[in-house]
Structure 1
Amino acid sequence: MASPSPPHLLSFFVFIFIFIFIFLTSVVSSQQFSTSDQTTLLNLKQQWGNPQSLADWNSTSSPCSWPEVQCRNGSVIMLQLDSKELTGTIPPFICDLQNLENMILHDNLITGEFPRVFYNCSKLVELDIAQNLFFGRLPDDIDRLSQLQIIEFGGNNFTGDIPPAIGNISALTSLFLYQNLFNGSIPPEIGNLSNLETLGLAYNEFADPVIPQEFGKLRSLKVMWMAATNLVGNIPESLSNLTNLTSLDLSLNKLEGEIPPGLFLLTNLDVMFLYLNKLSGNLPSLIQSQNLTQIDIAMNRLNGSIPDDFGKLQKLQVFNLYSNRFSGQIPTSISQIPSLRIFRVFRNNLTGELPPEFGLHSKLESFEVSENNLTGTLPENLCAGGALTGVIVFSNNLTGEIPSSYESCNKVNSIQLYNNNFTGEIPPGVWTLLNLSTLLLTGNSFSGELPGKVAWNLSRFEISDNKFSGQIPSEISSWMKLNVFKASNNLFSGVIPPEFTSLSELSVLYLDGNSLSGELPSQIKSWNSLTILNLARNKLSGDIPSSLGSLPNLLGLDLSENQFSGEIPPELSNLRLTSLNLSSNKLTGKIPSAFDNSAFQNSFFNNPNLCSTSHISNLHSCYTKSSRKKFSPKIIATIVILSSFLLLLAILFTLFMFRDHLKKKPKRTRTTWKLISFHNLDFTEENILSCMTDANLIGSGGSGKVYRIGVGPPRGFVAVKQISNKKFNRDVENEFSSEVQILGSIRHSNIVKLLCCLSNPNSKLLVYEYMENQSLDKWLHGKKRKPEMELRLEPPHFVLDWRRRLQIAIDAAQGLCYMHHDCSPVIVHRDVKSSNILLDSEFKAKIADFGLAQILEKQKPGDDNMASIVGSLGYFAPEYAYTTRINERIDVYSFGVVLLELVTGKEPNGKDGDLNLAEWAWKHHGESDSMVGVCDPEIKDSDTYMEEMSTMFKLGLICTSTLPSSRPSMKDVLEILRRCNPMDELPEEMKEGRDEFDVAPLLKRERSVTGPNENEGVLVSQV
């Protein structure tokens, strides 16, 4: 190889020399730094507790080489200290960093009032102290920070007014004050910030503010985020001037009036949220923004027709207009948008046919048009994009058949077509769709037979009130995930195959109103989860199988209007039935003693050969004349004479023995009971008092005993709580009075009904509606405890599935939300726990036991009734240790523990060292964001619901924050839980506002809350 020529060799050495010179120069410059800046930074590290996250900060290295520090010409210009677990306050020497421009302290545990020391940082252009523990008011002279371009103060505890002087900081481009405790006014001076691009005031409780007209001057504004700020009045016309706006979020407010026509002329608008307001009026027809990707104006009072101009929004992905008052037809142009993914217009007054091109031009993921007055047929190409997850069209007037093209909807998990006028047979491939779990076809005219094979994950199957026929296939044993099967009022015939009883997860079975015949399977294999069995109005015959008595969780049994014969199996007495109907059969013999009482007197009509030993109406007595032994007249006369003689002797003896006693106490006052009723009663005082026996005792507590007493139809049973008369003291009297005062005055479907109270000088009785499924505590923890439980009823033998747990959480939250937000004055329960959440026969949850509750009037310091710590161990809010003042936040804390119980299955006082459940949950979250090891192992298919379970777990963390102000209100808690619930299981009043398991916008930004520990603070981001 030839050596380089001399000129080339010289160039080579010159290049090497220059490279070495530049390298040495950079090394030397990196070593040049201000020693005073180094000293200041090391003092800061010490001030903030020498956190391990700043381990690189030492006296032997250059601060400019530290990861958290940026320098210019050897001077510190930026401190990037977000999420470093810093504690303490801002020290006064921080501005010794004379060239500091960017100060980022986001997500730490720094406390104190607003740090005025930053006034001395003359070059500061960015100040981010969000997600910390600052408190107090912002200073009125905050405009002394005149060079600031970015203000990030969100996620703290600042209170009062936003100072008007903030409008003088003319260089501001970003102003974030979200998620504080501001409760004053919104200053119109913010409208003077001509360079402002982002405005975030969301999640504050301003005092009924309107949107200032001056905000229309913010011509540089791109993002306006004012969700949950108590906004009232109209959307001002001046917002039409915001021509650069890309995101508008005015959700969770109380806005009224019409949307300004010019608002849709914003040429750069990308995202528009007007969600959950109370707007009214017509939607404008001029919609010219070509960049809109999301429109969410759901849950308002908007009316008029849907403008056809929406179809011009070629980038639109999410279209949410549900729960309004829109009328007219759905414009065809909307179905032609190529980017459309989510289409939700349910609960309006829409008419006309569904545009047939839906799904043909875009990859639709969600299609929800239920609860309108739509006609015509289903769109043929709804699943053409291969992304659809749900077909939700129930409660319309749709006709025709299910298109065969739906056999390719492999991502669909829910098909809800009920309450329409559909006809024809179900396409074979629909039965076996890969991800189908819910199929609701009730209230149509579908026909055909049941298939032998269905989707592997099908859990809810409802086809009542149709024209299905044929036999129930023996292959039904392969439907292993089936939980609810409702097929009432069809044309099914033949026998019930024994294989049907092998479905171990089946909990609800309705086959009433068909033409089924033959005998019931004598051996029941796996119906251990069954709670309701309804086979009424068929042609079934033979004996009632005694094996029904072995079903551990059966609560309702209806075999009426069949041809069953023979005796009623005594094994049925083992069941805890709340409803029983064996009417109109051919049964004979005695009624089992467990049912031979007034509570079941309507259960046996039209069985001529049944008899009763307790004289149930409409049944003859088991003791007839023919069964009595006849005696001769002489024997009868002798018995009568002897009986009379013995009776006379007994009377004389009694008068002689008690003569003196009767003289001393000639009159004895008969014990009388005072009855106060709060509802229309279908029983008497005597019904209650005559049944207060140990045979009806089901539990006992600190205040007394609890009885389950039958009072006859239609109510069946009531629960009676007796306050102990031996230890009747002032505290018990107060508890009794509190419960009577509160429960007697409130009405809510998720609060247990107090029917009446009875009292005399020695005893107090509270009569409640009976809750068949006992308490949530027993379902979650009953099997883990020893048999010494006070409640005599057996703990449940199967676990609560996730769907039931979620609905129970929603029910309980509704009850507490009513107490906190709808009662005047507010009611604080003070003893929320899983044992005080009761479940009825359909697992509807109700809040109970108000003995410790307080009606939250205006409290004065030193009130005695607030001074005592009450509640239950494991559910205490931590502020009980240092304050005697109570508010709704203590219930929120306790409810957070209940949420953690529902997800984890753990008891509130865990076995993990000294940690209670809340402490354990925070410790786990601090160590790992993973849900591994969190979920109750008894929840089946937990992977399917992992997102919902994670949401509830993190919501439980937020509710159990150490700092009360960091906890959400019960209204916010309820809203988050409602969003986790699928549409098909929401009660009617909840169906508004369902989103796809997303807690946004309630928690759409990171929320800094404090955990249950002395260090006060752990970050829960994006619940």
Structure 2
Amino acid sequence: MTKSSQSCVKLSCYSLLTFLILSHANSQSEMYNDENKVLMKIKQYLQNPPYLSHWTLSNSTHCSWPQVNCTNGSITGLALVESNINQTIPTFICDLKNLTYVNFSANYIPGKFPTYLYNCSKLESLDLSMNNFDGKVPDDIDLLANLQYLNLGSTNFFGDIPASIGRLKELRVLKLQYSLFNGTYPDEIGNLFNLETLDLSSNFELPRSSLPLSWTKLSKLKVFYMYSCNMVGEIPETIGEMVALEKLDISQNSLTGKIPNSLLLLRNLTILYLYHNSLSGEIPGVVEALNLTAIDLTKNDLTGKIPDDFGKLQKLTGLCLSLNKLSGEIPENVGRFPYLKDFRVFFNNLSGTLSPDFGRFSKLGSFHIASNKFSGSIPENLCYHGELRNLTVYDNNLSGELPESLGNCSSLLELKIFNNQFSGKIPSGLWTSSNLLSLMVSQNTFTGELPDRLSSTISRFEISYNQFSGRIPAGVSSWKNVVVFNASKNFFNGSIPQELTTLTKLTTLLLDQNHLTGPLPSYVISWKSLVTLNLSQNQLSGQIPDTIGQLFVLSQLDLSKNQFSGKIPSQLPRLTNLNLSSNRLTGRIPIEFENSAYSSSFLDNPGLCVDNPSLNITLCNTGPQSRTKGSSRPLALIVSLVAIFFILAFLASFSIIRLFRKRKQGFDNSWKLISFQRLSFTESNIVSSLTEHNIIGHGGYGTVYRVPVSDLGYVGVKKIWNNINLDKKLESSFHAEVKILSNIRHNNIVKLLCCISNQDSMLLVYEYHENRSLDRWLLKKSKSSGVSGSVHRVVLDWPKRLKIAIGAAHGLCYMHHDCSPAIVHRDVKTSNILLDLQFNAKVADFGLARMLIKPGELETMSNVVGSFGYIAPEYIRTTQVSKKVDVFSFGVILLELTTGKEANYGDEHSSLAEWAWHKVELGSNIDELLDKDVMELGYVDEMCSVFKLGIMCTATLPANRPSMKEVVQILHRCGEGFTFAERNVRQNDAVPILKSSKRGQGLGFVDGDSE
């Protein structure tokens, strides 16, 4: 070839290369422009939300935007997470031809599974979790053939998990947790041989089924979460074939049988959670499982000893074996684990002494050994590394003095050592420990005097049934945050110091059975929060101060067996329990206490008299004074009638003037309807039916109507109080309820159909529930229940009560764990649980609900709002809102369902919750506390279990209450015959599990606040 020819060839090659480069550049530019147009179209479809304000043509390259990910200049990833999207995903999203990653999690996206995503042919990762999707996952989902990551969790998908998922051969991660699937487990999942993570946890609607044997062939699976899935049967021995397993959580099911040896021989296993099942037999040795870092076998029926091989698990950070039947001693080496932070073996039959090495070799944070048979002393080094937060050793046979080192443990939050045989003095540093919240040392033989200064953080101070002596110090005024002060049955003497009345947060003051003398301080009105006051069996004297009548929340007052004299104050609070017996009181008993409910409240006071001859107390003389009193009654009646006449005249005039103004302005002034679904009625249909005839009740902020409409039959209408100058608080409540309910889609939360408003009226229109609210069925004073209007009380049987409890729990669980951000109701009570014709429960009335700014973050409200008897103690004390406020209120509902008593019922304490705890502490048989009308139907075991769950939910400390997730699972198991007591024992044998438990202790949840 000539040089000329060679030059031509080179020139042609250069020209071709240049052409290809220019063509590629033009192609890249064209692709960029096309993708940019799609992004602008998405922004427009989402109605130009503020968080996409930076999506502009002039804002450099879209590959730099945080929601967009590019590879080689082309969009491959799109993430719009927590963006409050309430529309469907754009149907044109697959116009982004190179998408491999799509994430729309944590929004409010409605509708069916978006099958148009099949057009994204390169899609490898799809996350649609935490949305309002419903319907079924399509059977042809395997058309997304390249998927490696699929997350459809925390949605409303139901039905079968499609077998076609087993044909997604590239899948590494499959997450279908916390949904409404109610079909079978597909065996085909066992064909996903590349799967590394499988999460089906918290699918409560799945039918009872055993673990498919085909799944144990997933040899690459590292993470397997299937807790709370209604699994039954035994753990198959073939689980040992899952050789890659690192984390296994199949807790909170109904698994039975023994723990297979093969499971504990998996060399890669680091976390093993089998708690809350019915596994039995002994724990197998674990010689080979040297990588385990956390073991939780809480609440099973495990027997025998803790294997000595456990001493070889040097990597353990958590060992939880509580609520079993384990016996024997703890292996010596366990105390020397170098990484152990959490040690829980409470509620077993373990015995022996505790290793002195506990805490010395690891940064121990929690040490829970309550309700066992341990003896000897507490290990000296529990707080050696200064990180011990919880020390719970109550109900054992421990003895000796407390280690001085506990006095220097500034990290300590809770010290619960009651009901042991400890003696000596409390280490001085404990009184002033900087973070201590609860100091509970009752039922021991401690001696010494109370300190002048107490830690400013302590809220629960219980030292009853000990041998403390001396005076209550004047320095008690510094105990500013004490809520419960229980010093019953000690040797305190001297007078009650005036400084004690400065403790404004006190709700419970128990100083009975001491040697106190002198008068009761006259200035007690600072005790504005005091609910329970017991000063009985002392030597107090003088008059009962009149100022006690200004303690408006006081409901339990016991001043019996003292030397009080003079008259009973003419005004006392509305007391549910009063005992002034065995004093030297004189004069007339106030008329409001002249009834049989207080027949034993005034005994052994010879100077007292009454007008009521039915009481076994001396009758007062009927002299001139009585006649004068009687003659004044007609005059009082006349004055009252005149006053009523003037009030009625004023109201009639006001109504006439208001009606005239409305007619002048035009009554129907621009009603506005906002619907949330297709409606068969108009605003005029609703407004015209708001008549007195249709009123069915009154809510917190207004009247509730039952309005007939076509197709639906009836709807419920909540009318916010009519007021031209609308109160901002009411307006805020209205908007809060609309905002929350319009975004919620759940079977156990009331459905909001629409809202209607004008300038001075606001209406919320709900689906109507034939059986109205739960309180109408439980209230024994009511002469009718339901909608039938029958004159006798209809007893709600136990299966319906349990069904209602489970349904309401599901609704609250959805609010707490599936809504983003989480929702706290703040006013959970029986009147806010609505029932449809089949007694399905619906949580209602969100006027007080608030969305938490961030999950887990406390929100402080300016004032406490709620209903007496349902309000959590920390909410009253701090006005801080958390999910555990709702858990407390729900626990009260469980106590109402099981006992048949109202939330404000009181006996020894102020409310049903306090009464129930007090009965448990006294060792009462639980079956004696239950609703007798329901017990006759033969559901005692289930009722006892639900009662105990109510006790757990109403623990004083929020951290000791279960989460709503845990509540739902336990209630489901109660319906399957599960009880907290040991299986196959008499009911009375189960009672001691709670017999000595103190309020706030918690009863065995592994993760105190596992939210």
* TM-score above 0.5, yes or no: yes
Report the CA distance between 1:115 and its aligned residue: 3.5
Residue in structure 2 matching 1:611, options 599, 609, 612: 609
CA distance in 2 between counterparts of 1:974 and 1:108 reads 33
Amino acid at match of 2:37: L
Within 5 Å, give how 1:226-625 maps onto structure 2. Answer: 226-524=226-524, 526-565=526-565, 567-571=566-570, 573-615=571-613, 617-623=615-621
Q: In the alignment, what sits opposite 2:1005?
A: 994
Choose 1 or 2 for highest CA Rg.
Answer: 1
Q: Distance in 2 between matches of 1:980 and 1:375?
A: 28
Q: Specify the code of the residue in structure 1 equivalent to 2:302.
A: L
**Which residue pairs with 1:1013 in the alignment?**
none
In the other structure, the counterpart of 1:35 is 30
- Report the count of equivalent residues: 741
Report the CA distance between 1:289 and its aligned residue.
Answer: 2.5
Tell me by how many angstroms 1:983 deviates: 7.2
Aligned position for 2:46: 49
Assess if the C-alpha contact under 8 Å between 2:959 and 2:1009 holds in 1. no
| Residue in 1 that maps onto 2:663 | none
Distance 1:180 1:35, change over 3 A: farther
Mapped to 1, the partners of 2:810 and 2:57 lie a distance apart of 56
CA 1:514–1:943 in 2, change beyond 3 Å: closer, same or farther? closer
1:68 positional shift:
4.4
* Separation of aligned partners in 1, 2:588 and 2:92: 92
Q: Give distance in 1, aligned partners of 2:361 and 2:265.
A: 26
1:295-334 Cα distance to aligned partner (Å, 9 max, x none): 2222223222222222322222122222222222122211
Provide the rounded CA distance (Å) in 2 between the counterparts of 1:405 and 1:824.
Answer: 46
- 1:645-656 equivalence runs, <5 A: none
- Structure 2 distance, partners of 1:291, 1:556, is 55
On the 8 A contact 2:859/2:881 being kept in 1, the answer is no
Letter in 2 for 1:538: N
SS of the aligned residue for 2:174 comes to: strand
TM-score (norm. length: structure 1): 0.64
- d(CA) in 1 for partners of 2:349, 2:270: 28
User: How far apart in 1 are the matches of 2:503 and 2:611?
Assistant: 38
C-alpha displacement at 1:285, in angstroms? 1.4
Given the superposition, is the C-alpha separation of residues 91 and 955 from structure 1 closer, same or farther in structure 2, using an over 3 Å criterion?
farther
Displacement of 1:378 after TM fit? 0.9
**8 A contact 2:961–2:1008 mirrored in 1:** no
CA spacing shift, 1:85–1:949, aligned 2, 3 Å: closer
Which one of 824, 835, 838 corresponds to residue 856 of structure 1? 838
SS in 1 for 2:262: helix
Counterpart contact for 1:202–1:227, Cα < 8 Å: yes
Letter in 1 for 2:617: L
Deviates further, 329-338 or 309-318: 309-318
Is the CA contact 1:134–1:156 (under 8 Å) kept in the aligned structure 2? Answer: yes
Deviation digits for residues 114-139 of structure 1, max 9, x if unmatched? 34444444433333333344433333
- The separation in 1 between residues aligned to 2:615 and 2:558, in whole angstroms, is 20
The within-5 A match list for 1:201-216 is 201-204=200-203, 205-216=205-216
> Any idea what the Cα deviations from partners look like across 1:131-180, whole Å, max 9, x if unmatched?
34443333333333333222233233322222223222222211222233
**Secondary structure, aligned partner of 2:564:** strand
1:426-458 Cα shifts (integer Å, max 9, x gaps): 122221111122111111111222222221222
SS of residue matched to 1:325: coil
CA separation in 1, counterparts of 2:115 and 2:551? 70
Mapped partners of 2:162, 2:830: distance in 1: 45
Cα gap change, 1:349 to 1:445, in 2 (>3 Å): same
Deviations 1:770-804 (A, max 9, x none): xxxxxxxxxxxxxxxxxxxxxxxxxxxxxxxxxxx
- Which residue does the alignment assign to 2:881? 949
| Contact 1:203-1:226 within 8 A present in 2 as well | yes
**Cα gap change, 1:497/1:616 in structure 2, threshold over 3 Å: closer, same or farther?**
farther
Which letter maps to 1:126?
S
Give the match for residue 838 of structure 1: none
* Letter of the structure 2 residue corresponding to residue 188 of structure 1: D
Distance 1:852 1:149, change over 3 A: closer
Q: Could you tell me which residue of structure 1 aligns to residue 637 of structure 2?
A: none
Question: Which residue number corresponds to residue 968 of structure 2?
Answer: none
- Give the % identical residues: 40
Q: Following the alignment from structure 1 to structure 2, what is the Cα–Cα distance between the partners of residues 449 and 975?
A: 33
Contact 2:89-2:114 within 8 A present in 1 as well:
yes
Preserved CA contact (<8 Å) 1:257 1:280? yes
Question: 2:285–2:309: 8 Å Cα contact kept in structure 1?
Answer: yes
Displacement after TM superposition at 1:286 (Å): 2.0
Report the Cα distance in structure 2 between the residues aligned to 1:188 and 1:980, rounded to whole angstroms. 46
Partner of 1:137: 136
Provide the C-alpha distance between the structure 2 equivalents of 1:386 and 1:944, rounded to a whole number of angstroms. 32
- What is the identity, as a one-letter code, of the residue corresponding to 1:606? D
Give, in whole Å, the separation in 2 of the partners of 1:201 and 1:367: 32
Compared CA separation, residues 944 and 222, structure 1 to 2 (3 A): farther
Aligned pair partner of 1:754 in 780, 789, 810: 780
> Distance between the aligned counterparts of 2:956 and 2:520, measured in 1?
39
Deviates more, 1:102-111 or 1:382-391: 102-111
- The Cα of 1:235 is off from its aligned counterpart by 1.4
SS of 1:299's equivalent in the other structure is coil
Does the C-alpha gap of structure 1 residues 449 and 925 become closer, same or farther in structure 2, counting only changes over 3 Å? closer
Task: Give the Cα separation in 2 of the matches to 1:378 and 1:27.
Answer: 81
- Give the CA deviation at 1:73: 5.1
Contact kept in structure 2, 1:330 and 1:354, CA below 8 Å: yes
Give yes or no for contact 2:80–2:103 (8 Å, CA) kept in 1.
yes
Partners in 2 of 1:236 and 1:756 — Cα distance? Answer: 54
Which secondary structure does the structure 2 equivalent of 1:206 belong to?
A: coil
* Structure-1 residue corresponding to 2:182: 183
Residue aligned with 1:574, SS: coil
1:218 Cα deviation from its structure 2 partner = 0.7
Query: Displacement of 1:28 after TM fit?
Result: 11
Change (3 A) 1:820 1:230: farther
In 2, the alpha carbon distance for the partners of 1:185 and 1:604 equals: 65
Unaligned runs of 5+ in 1: 1-24, 630-700, 706-729, 732-736, 747-751, 770-814, 832-844, 858-886, 898-907, 909-916, 959-969, 1001-1023
Q: Does the residue aligned with 1:158 lie in a helix, a strand or coil?
A: strand
Matches of 1:741 and 1:108 in 2, distance apart?
A: 31
1:154 aligns with 2:153: yes
Specify whether residues 58 and 625 from structure 1 end up closer, same or farther in structure 2 by C-alpha distance, changes over 3 A only. closer
Q: How far is 1:267 from its partner?
A: 1.3
Alpha-carbon separation, structure 2, partners of 1:830 and 1:174: 28
CA root-mean-square deviation? 4.7
Name the CA shift for 1:34/1:741 in 2 (closer, same or farther; >3 Å).
closer
In structure 2, do the counterparts of structure 1 residues 102 and 456 end up closer, same or farther at CA, with 3 Å as the change threshold? closer
C-alpha contact (below 8 Å) 1:172/1:195 kept by paired residues: yes
- Hey, what does 1:196 align to over in structure 2? 195
Distance in 2, matches of 1:124 and 1:825, equals 39
- In structure 2, the CA distance between the partners of 1:931 and 1:393, relative to structure 1 (3 Å rule), is closer
Q: What is the rounded CA distance, in whole Å, between the counterparts of 2:582 and 2:36 in structure 1?
A: 88
Q: In the alignment, residue 315 of structure 1 is paired with which amino acid?
A: K
Given the superposition, is the C-alpha separation of residues 568 and 210 from structure 1 closer, same or farther in structure 2, using an over 3 Å criterion?
Answer: same
Query: Amino acid of the residue matched to residue 605 of structure 1?
Result: L
Shift of 1:245: 1.0
